[in-house]
Amino acid sequence: MPCEVVVLNGGKLVLERWTGLVTFEEVAAHNRDLLRDPSIAQGAAALIDCRTALIALPVERVGELATAHGNTAGRFKIGRFAFVMSADSDAHAQAFTREVHKHGITAIVFTSLGVACQWLGVDPADVPQA
């Protein structure tokens, strides 16, 4: 899978870095793994760096991915998402942001890692670099 994940701060922060070609199936599997990960605390924040990823999934299927995050049975753990995207590839993150908002989850798309870190209260030095 083209995703590296690090859980920090006692499970309160999830750092993800996606690289290469990213498919719907990979993101869906990743979501299932996060739901089952006992190291992630309820209400955690996620910093998702997709600057070096090629998102190859249909934008119209993004809602399916967002639904898992608001699933009351699973009570998804992450309450805030900061996506860092290149300016020309943020359509997927924008769609995801709209969909998770329906479930009371906050998500914002950034083009700057530093600004995303500031919003989450994360030291950029703690974020593994691509």
**Domain interval for residue 110:** 3-126
This prediction's pTM: 0.86
* 3-class state of residue 105 by DSSP: coil
Nearest C-alpha neighbor of 8 from the set 57, 41, 55, 48 = 41
Looking up residue 63, the CATH number of its domain turns out to be 3.30.750
Q: 86: pLDDT confidence band, cut at 50, 70 and 90?
A: confident
Residues 18-76 have pLDDT tens digits of 999 999 999 999 988 888 899 999 889 999 999 999 888 888 888 887 776 665 555 56
The total domain count for the chain is 1
